[in-house]
Chain A
Amino acid sequence: MSNANQQAVARYKNNFLKEVEERVEEGHWVKMCMQCGVCAGSCPLGPAWEHTPQKIFMMIRAGKRDEVLQSDSMWMCTSCYNCIARCPRKLPITHIMHGLANYAHRLGIAPKGQPTREFAVMFWKNLTKRGRTNELMLTLSLYFANGIGPGIQTAMNMQKIGLGMVLAGRLNPMEIFGGHSVKDLKGFHAVLAKAKEIEDRKKGFAA
């Protein structure tokens, strides 16, 4: 168990709802769910999830901390916003799902090898490195995520599209050497560091 997770368990004891309210984005909405199930019925991926949003909220109230945070359900959300549009209690369900996923990730207990999680990490690293997404590198790291063989295979399959994009000026092969960055890269990293510091303080991660 990660250090952050141990600290969270010690801090909130069995009150998982309180933990969610204080540390998960939009988590203070969870208590307002009235269990009507409209979100569960509206979700186009509903059958693919282990737990619907309705169940996730009920599990939070029931204190099922590990089951919620280790679930891959929130990672399955495609942000279609059907649930938000339909929730009679106006809960920002999509945001709460992402908030829960993010929180589980921070605690280091989110499911390992979960594709959405892996891609999100990859994207974040790519983006924050130079303040701009390096699309070529992002694509290649995605292709080679499962090893060299499958990477070459995928790249070969996609070469026609890749060449087309290069010819159309939508993909720069030079990006392979690192690509371009924002003007003030140092300042950009400072902004991120400050934002993290503020968030940690707000959510009680600091110290």
Chain B
Amino acid sequence: MADIKYAAYICSGCGIGDKMNVAGLEKVAKTEGKMAVIKNHPFLCNAEGVQMIRDDIANDGVTHLCIAACSRRSKAEAFSFPTVAVSRANLREGVLWVVAEGADHDEVRQEMAEDYVRMGCAEVKKMKLPEGNPNKGDAQNKRIMVVGGGMSGMTAALAAAEAGYEAVLVEKTGALGGFASKLWKRVPFSSPYAEPQATGVEEMVAKVTGNAKIKVHLNTTVAETGGAPGRFTVKLAQESGAVSDETVGAIVQASGFTPYDMAKLPELGGGQANVVDQAGLEALAKTANGGAIKRADGKEVKSVVFVQCAGQRDETGTHLSYCSGHCCATSIKQAMYFKDANPDVDTVVMYTDLRVPGMGEDFYRSAQQKGVIFTKGKASKVSGGDSCKVDFTDLILDEQTSIDADLVVLATGQVANAGVNLDAWTEVNTAAEGGNEEAKVQRTEMKTISVLNLNYRQGPDVPQFKHGFADSHFICFPYETRRTGIYAAGPTRRPMDMLQATEDATGAALKAIQAVENASQGRAAHPRAWDLSFPSARLEGCTQCKRCTVECPFGAIDEDEKRFPVFNEQRCRRCGTCMGACPVRVISFENYSCDTVGMQIKAVNVPDEDEEKPRILVLACENDAYPALDMAGVQRLTYSAYVRAIPVRCLGSVNTIWITDALNGGYDGVMMMGCKKGDDYQCHFVKGSEMASYRMSKIGDTLKQMGIESERVVTHEVAITDNARVAKLIDDYVAELDKLGPSPMKGFG
């Protein structure tokens, strides 16, 4: 390895030079930071300043540099030096713009700036230049496997093929088309949104089968999936018993939905004669082929009632608690089947809230124009038979009443085909591994509904969110599952109609392409898609505690026979949750490790008790909380100059050693700021902030042993828009600590 040379560049622009003693900062970088080269510049991010740094890298052999200027989130392009390790000391957003104006604050401002220079120098000395995944050569496969040959799956395969990528389409049944092929017509996709349209399934099947880049496996299921993005190996089991192998780079799971079983709704006539679900009506309409729709007993339907939300939006906990989104428009479409064939057929859609997303409102109006009656009411009982009867509460006229009809259609909603529920699986699997015979049988049984049969340590399918749909980051990364390189599309991800499913599938296909490209270049998948670092572990120090393999939000880490962790780098998203989990601190990234942060914490100059200047460590998630802190600066909101903020990849990456180091070193308090956790989480790594919160709930005992008040460690959920709130949180905490008095650990560090 070439010689290491450290350099610090201090910018005095943007007013930094006016408010701070730059010579003092240089002195800190020299005497404490031990930088070999120290330069300052009045406008470091301009062409001349950047050229100065480039020249030093090229001619002077500088390999590690600390840029003390603005936030790492600013001027990222100007300060991009891909051949060297770079740390950033945030003097502008982090000091200049947030410390109150005036000479009174000159001293604390200068102390804060000097600390950030110390921290930047300390960090870069522990950093290595990320070189990308050394095993990227194994991950060059760019084929995309699509599981499920319905509307979503076919769209995803076509999107991938049209973008130039080979697709492997796996379909369980003997024909492509999925649920859409059972429909008579579909809801319109385009203006004027007035009439049901042909489904277009046959044309799409022809396009798929005629595409040379798409290989179709019918009557086939996925028997086993192993590997990682760029190198998935898949065993496909055909109905005939034959097994074939495929190697693919990424996977789109478009396993669709099953209509909620109306047999579970006996009170609404489920199972009785002349009561059908929406799928049942499609079958009747297909048989009628545009003519008068007849019931199963051959009688022509003269009156029909559609009962919306049948077994959906259920508050009793018995049926589906959610709204499936498509059923109102579907019933409107089906009512039109009757009206278009014979305008004299009485069609009543009984709803509590009519929900027609997209341009469905136009479709709704069109049905009203055709004379479909919409009754706001809640059905309490449906009796089937030759003459059906629907008892209901009229919610407008506020009365119990009933309506007779030849046929009743129940809008029952979508249940995701998302495979095995991993929470239940983990429990059974643990018992089975412990030798429980009953659990072993149960485990085999559970696996029969698996879609992907992953051989991952954390279980055979993608993790599910509430209601059994594949978990995905609803706000930022909707197509993501919690298994890197595997993307969920269509109603397996959330309830949706056909148009949404096709859009979803296109998005998932593009994400799959991004995944294979990133994997082939040894980079992380989103949200750190540029990131060339990868986790490595000093296995000689590993105690096989399995925390990393269990806590990884993305199931990236398997275990070998000796129960050592096996990092599948391509599956890794570089959040560092494993690093935060590791009790013996053997996991690290080249440019982010227990040391890069730990040394920053130790570099801060903690004043003695009698100086009455507390020090507060802020560990801020770089996705939301750190930008919020920066934005507080941009808006010139002030907060206490006693805090020292360190950005972390995710709160999940926070190792408790940092907290104990800080408190042992005499810090008066530690604030952790991360994203929202729970059911409506906003954590970019899904489980990171939840893991952090869980770990912090256990830190109380450690604090007690140290003789430290529990108030000295606090955790806050911070959104990216919380710029005013973070400033207040900091000031409130400083006031609280002031009441608490200085840390008892001061002076021992």
Contact = CB atoms under 8 A, between A and B. Distances in A.
Given A31-B368, A31-B369, A34-B364, A55 B375 contact: no
Contacts of A89: 365
B369 A61 contact: no
A58 B396 contact: yes
Nearest to A15: B346
Contacts of B369: 31-32
A54 B375 CA distance: 12
B432 interface: no
B286 to A, nearest CB: 28
A17 B344 CA distance: 12
Contacts of B375: 58, 61-62
A59 interface: yes
B397 A62 contact: yes
Given A54-B396, A59-B397, A31 B376 contact: no
A55 B396 contact: yes
Contacts of A58: 375-376, 394, 396-397
Contacts of B394: 58, 62
Contacts of B108: none
Interface residues of A, number: 12
Interface string B351-389: 000100000000011001101011110000000000000
A7 interface: no
Given A17-B373, A61-B373, A34 B396 contact: no
B374 A34 contact: yes
Given A58-B376, A61-B373, A62-B375, A32 B365 contact: yes
A62 B376 CA distance: 11
Contacts, number: 32
Contacts of A62: 375, 394, 397, 401
Overall SS of chain B's interface? mixed
A82 B354 CA distance: 25
A35 interface: yes
Interface string B234-267: 0000000000000000000000000000000000
Overall SS of chain A's interface? helix
A116 B626 CA distance: 69
Nearest to A67: B397
Contacts of B401: 62
A32 B401 CA distance: 23
B31 to A, nearest CB: 72
A20 to B, nearest CB: 12
Contacts of A32: 365, 368-369
A35 B397 contact: no
Nearest to A88: B361
B359 to A, nearest CB: 15
Contacts of B397: 55, 58-59, 62
Interface string B502-513: 000000000000
Nearest to A32: B368
Contacts of B374: 34-35, 61
A42 B27 CA distance: 73
A136 B375 CA distance: 50
Interface string A17-60: 10000000000000110110000000000000000001100110
A31 B373 contact: yes
B370 to A, nearest CB: 9
A34 B371 contact: no
Nearest to A14: B346
A62 B374 CA distance: 10
Contacts of B376: 35, 58
A74 B131 CA distance: 80
A67 to B, nearest CB: 9
Given A34-B354, A58-B397, 4 more contacts: A34-B374, A58-B375, A62-B375, A62-B401
22 contacts: A17-B373, A31-B368, A31-B369, A31-B371, A32-B365, A32-B368, A34-B364, A34-B368, A34-B374, A35-B376, A35-B396, A55-B396, A58-B375, A58-B396, A58-B397, A59-B397, A61-B373, A61-B374, A62-B394, A62-B397, A62-B401, A89-B365
Q: Which 7 pairs of residues, A with B, have the shortest CB-CB distance?
A: A58-B396, A32-B368, A35-B376, A31-B368, A61-B373, A58-B397, A35-B396
Interface of B: 354, 364-365, 368-369, 371, 373-376, 394, 396-397, 401
Interface of A: 17, 31-32, 34-35, 54-55, 58-59, 61-62, 89
